[in-house]
Amino acid sequence: MVDHLLALDPRGRGITSFFVEGGATRAAKALARAKRVVLTTGFCVGPGLPETDGPPGTAVLGRALRSLGATVTYITDAASLPPLQAALAALDEPKEIQIFPARGEAALSARRFLDEYAPTHMVSIERPGRTRTGDYLSMRGESVAEWNAPLDALFLEAPRRVVTVGVGDGGNEIGMGAVRARLLRAAPRLAKAATVVSATHLVVAGTSNWGAYGIVAELSRLVRRQLLHSAEDERRMVQACVDAGAVDGVTRKPEATVDAMPLAAHASMVELLRLIADMHPHGGKSR
Amino acid sequence: MVDHLLALDPRGRGITSFFVEGGATRAAKALARAKRVVLTTGFCVGPGLPETDGPPGTAVLGRALRSLGATVTYITDAASLPPLQAALAALDEPKEIQIFPARGEAALSARRFLDEYAPTHMVSIERPGRTRTGDYLSMRGESVAEWNAPLDALFLEAPRRVVTVGVGDGGNEIGMGAVRARLLRAAPRLAKAATVVSATHLVVAGTSNWGAYGIVAELSRLVRRQLLHSAEDERRMVQACVDAGAVDGVTRKPEATVDAMPLAAHASMVELLRLIADMHPHGGKSR
């Protein structure tokens, strides 16, 4: 139902070539009865430069799952902590966040975390996933390994019984390993940065925040309750991320935009997703 | 490019079954170099009750074509005159509108009008088209023939060289004859009201105004100039229609909504279409 909106590609990046129909619907169904959910996000495009895409989507999805009764745990690295805290604060959500170590044995850190929190579900929203060679690349093809902790180890080390959801918009994010073959056949730019890290359910969207909002819209329809934030919340969240040091991931400027799209576009996306979230399953036009 | 947005079906009316991929793009290409365009709109859902869907889309498309150098003529019937005037006035557009007679020989009136204005192109946006039996039906299956002049005669009498565009959202509007076979196979509700009046290019959308805006978004991309109105214009236009006596076509209440969707939804649709209209043909994300 939300696919039409998620598949919007206003920047012409060609997401059609790796879009997954029904991804948000399946992710929502999987998450609707989740007990313990771990959510991660955070993409640094330069030293100490986390981007505005990811934290808002994570905060909105985390809030929705919490309101459905799940125990929600956030984890990111030190560099991406401020915008995630800011997004959660903008929604008046608890902002306790675990920090994944930037150094040391990532697989070991991951297993310790998984043992301690025993998640039934894990969600990644716009978080770098490693390439076949173990590097982490931006869509410009530059290595961002130095600025992003190897948090994808959580998704590689998780027991198979854990249901995982990945949300991305470029091909280099955790979860996108699920469409790796399509990415390799697509543009060379996409093939080079493509990750090997997969997820049970993959949600592709024009911008990753939209993918997370799409899951929440589908959750809303499932439980017949509006779980999405307001357009005004959206504006406040993105601004709060920038105030906390985040930059636009495309322009790399400290401005309240996401992927070079103005706040009005994101507020509008939220508004239309809310309309779908409110939709009565058997509604109809009677004119 | 705009299909994703036009195909949005927040009321679950099943437009997928008769949606036309690429319709707005083809209509825009056909209209980009139009010399003399006749535009019509107006759907009365009861006596003296024109609806809010149609006039805003017509005013926005008419303004765009005028700014591209076309000679634009509007025609509707007396009942639908006030909202179309109001929508044009809200955009500071000239509001001279021809009136099609409600009584008399429709085919004759149509031929006289066609002789006088000699249009190269004709566009209908949310205007009733006759059924196989010559009646005009609402989506509720009620006859609306008494309240809407047989203006579709223009599209039946026009010489074949005239390029016609129809915009609709239900199946009972001028132009929808082009997908009549699909409508007959779809829900019985759609089959009953389906019109026989076709058009060269058909644009289907969740709401007809959106279809017209979609054409203008594609025109904008063709000429690399933003021809769409602003979200604020959208709010003012719909309110102006209601102030002029229009009602919501679904709720039939005199409120500033269109097809039971709030102004925020329509403003958001305009905002996202503007984003696509602004899109650089070779844009790309470089994160």
Does residue A21 fall inside a structural domain? yes
Whole-angstrom distance, CA of residue A186 vs CA of residue A53: 23
- Report how far residue B64's alpha carbon sits from residue B74's, in angstroms, rounded to the nearest whole number: 14
pLDDT band at B266 (very low <50, low <70, confident <90, very high): very high
Containing B115, the helix (H) or strand (E) segment is helix B106-117
Are residues A267 and B268, on separate chains, in Cβ contact within 8 Å? Answer: yes
Whether residue B59 lies inside any domain: the answer is yes
Cβ-defined contact of A283 to B11 (cutoff 8 Å): yes
Report the distance separating Cα B251 and Cα B230, nearest Å. 26
Under the banding of pLDDT at 50, 70 and 90, the label for residue A45 is very high
The answer to whether A90 and A102 have CB atoms below 8 angstroms apart is no
What is the share, in percent, of chain B residues with pLDDT greater than 70? 97
How would residue A279 be classed by pLDDT, with cut points 50, 70 and 90?
confident
Q: Cβ–Cβ of B286/A11 closer than 8 Å? A: no
Q: Residue A148 domain-assigned? A: yes
Residue whose token pair is 């505005």? A52
Torsion of CA A187, A144, A264, A235, to 10 degrees: 150
Distance CA B142, CA B138 (A): 5
Q: Please report, rounded to a whole number, the percentage of residues in chain A having pLDDT higher than 70.
A: 97
Contact B228, B60 (CB under 8 A): yes
Burial class (CB in 10 A: 0-12, 13-18, 19+), A253: exposed
Write out pLDDT tens, residues B144-161: 999 999 999 999 999 999
The whole-number pLDDT of residue A10 equals 86
B10 and A CB contact within 8 Å: yes
Residue B112 confidence (pLDDT): 97
Q: How confident is the model over B64-86, as a mean pLDDT?
A: 98
Q: From A266, A277, A4, A287, select the one nearest B208 (Cα to Cα).
A: A287
Inter-chain residue contact A285 with B250, CB threshold 8 Å: yes
The reply to whether A284 falls in a domain is no
Q: Closest chain B residue to A187 measured between Cα atoms? A: B284
Give the closest residue to A46 by CA, choosing from A220, A237, A253.
A253
Tell me, what's the pLDDT at A214? 98
Domain-located, residue A285:
no
pLDDT at A42 exceeding the cut of 80: yes
Which pLDDT value is given to residue B190? 87
pLDDT of residue A281: 53
Strand, coil or helix: A171:
coil
Residue A209 within a domain: yes
Evaluate whether residue B284 is within a structural domain: no
CB B240 within 8 A of CB B90: yes
Q: What is the pLDDT of residue B280?
A: 56
The interface predicted TM-score of the complex, written ipTM, equals 0.89
Show the tokens assigned to A61: 């999805």
Q: Is the pLDDT of residue B89 over 70?
A: yes
- Domain count within chain B: 1
Task: State pLDDT tens for residues B197-239.
Answer: 999 999 999 999 999 999 999 999 999 999 999 999 999 999 9
The Cα B228–Cα B219 span in angstroms is 9
What is the distance of C-alpha B68 from the center of its chain? Answer: 19
Is B10 inside any structural domain? yes
C-alpha to C-alpha distance for B87 and A133, rounded to whole angstroms: 59
Distances (CA, A) of A241 to A238, A248, A250, A258: 5, 10, 15, 10
Inform me whether the pLDDT recorded for A237 exceeds 80: yes
Question: Which chain B residues are Cβ-neighbours of A170 within 8 angstroms?
Answer: 285, 287
| Residue A49 zone, left/alpha/beta (φ > 0; ψ -120 to 50; rest) | beta
Q: What angle do CA B201, B204, B209 make, to 5 degrees?
A: 105
Sign of the Cα torsion A232, B56, B8, B2 reads negative
Q: Give the residue from A5, A58, A100, A19 showing the smallest Cα distance to A237.
A: A58
Give A189's pLDDT tier (boundaries 50, 70, 90): confident
Residue-wise pLDDT tens digits, A144-153: 999 999 999 9
Among the ranges given (A9-13, A174-178, B40-44, B175-179), the one the predictor scored with the smallest mean pLDDT: A9-13
* pLDDT score of B21 more than 90: yes
Report the gap between the CA of A247 and the closest CA in chain B (Å).
11
How large a percentage of chain A has pLDDT more than 90?
A: 91
Query: What's the pLDDT score for residue B210?
Result: 98
The minimal CB distance from A287 to the residues B139, B269, B276 is found for B139
Interface list for B 135-194 with A (CB within 8 A):
138-140, 169-170, 189
- Average pLDDT along chain B: 95
For residue A280, pLDDT over 60 is answered with no
- Cβ contacts (< 8 Å) between A271 and chain B: which residues? 264-265, 267-268
Burial of B110 (0-12, 13-18, 19+ CB in 10 A): buried
Q: What CA–CA distances, in Å, run from A254 to A144, A259, A260?
A: 18, 12, 11
Q: How far is A230 from chain B (nearest CA, A)?
A: 11
Rounded to the nearest integer, the mean pLDDT of chain A is 95
Tell me the nearest-neighbour CA distance from A210 into chain B, angstroms. 13
Domain that holds residue A168: 3-277
d(CA B253, CA B243): 12
**Residue B89 is part of a domain; what is its CATH number?**
3.90.1640.20
